[in-house]
Chains A and B, each alone.
Chain A
Amino acid sequence: AQSVAQPEDQVNVAEGNPLTVKCTYSVSGNPYLFWYVQYPNRGLQFLLKYITGDNLVKGSYGFEAEFNKSQTSFHLKKPSALVSDSALYFCAVRAENFNKFYFGSGTKLNVKP
């Protein structure tokens, strides 16, 4: 079975501080991992993905994510948060031989000025 867990419903961080949004996964075979962001009343937008290679991947808007195979995690990070980063973040996984993605329940990121 394939699944994604985002253990935190909400993450609060002050502007300028580093942020981490957590994601763990379970798949059969090699995972393809994605992060998406959703702003209010909008569709989901692609942030970054891990397919293979370097465990640290960089994406849009200064975000990055670290793939950790032993811990089956793919945490989203940013060195310095902005108020405009406040949004809903989704982690998604696809197994290598499947055509569909599974999404986590989402984490609401609140960045306070």
Chain B
Amino acid sequence: NAGVTQTPKFQVLKTGQSMTLQCAQDMNHNSMYWYRQDPGMGLRLIYYSASEGTTDKGEVPNGYNVSRLNKREFSLRLESAAPSQTSVYFCASREGGYYGYTFGSGTRLTVV
């Protein structure tokens, strides 16, 4: 099925470990986004990529890095995980113009 695919779905990390969250979309969308969802805080933008080859910081970029590998793929890296990064992470893509987001199913990350 066409859409946004995120891997892994679940992950437990120890403090200080690193990992990369993967995201791929097959809708030929130009823009891709990473959000984190925390209870009572809604979705907060971490980083986004308006087009292939560009990335920009969102509201909460500290502790994260991103790579827009190609038009399809946009990865999020935690270099040294901290308990404050325990969250559900969503990747989204958008065609542009007046269109909204298409979301992936999320990655539930726990840092202990």
Mark A residues whose CB is within 8 Å of B.
4, 6, 9, 32, 34, 36, 41-46, 49, 51, 90, 92, 99-106
Contact = CB atoms under 8 A, between A and B. Distances in A.
A43 B40 contact: no
Interface of B: 4, 31, 33, 35, 40-45, 48, 50, 58, 90, 92, 98, 100-106
A43 B100 contact: no
Given A44-B90, A90-B43, A106-B42, A101 B98 contact: no
B42 A105 contact: yes
Contacts of B43: 44, 90, 103
Contacts, number: 54
Given A100-B45, A104-B42, A43 B98 contact: no
Given A44-B103, A99-B50, 10 more contacts: A9-B40, A43-B106, A44-B43, A46-B100, A46-B102, A49-B98, A90-B42, A99-B31, A100-B33, A102-B45
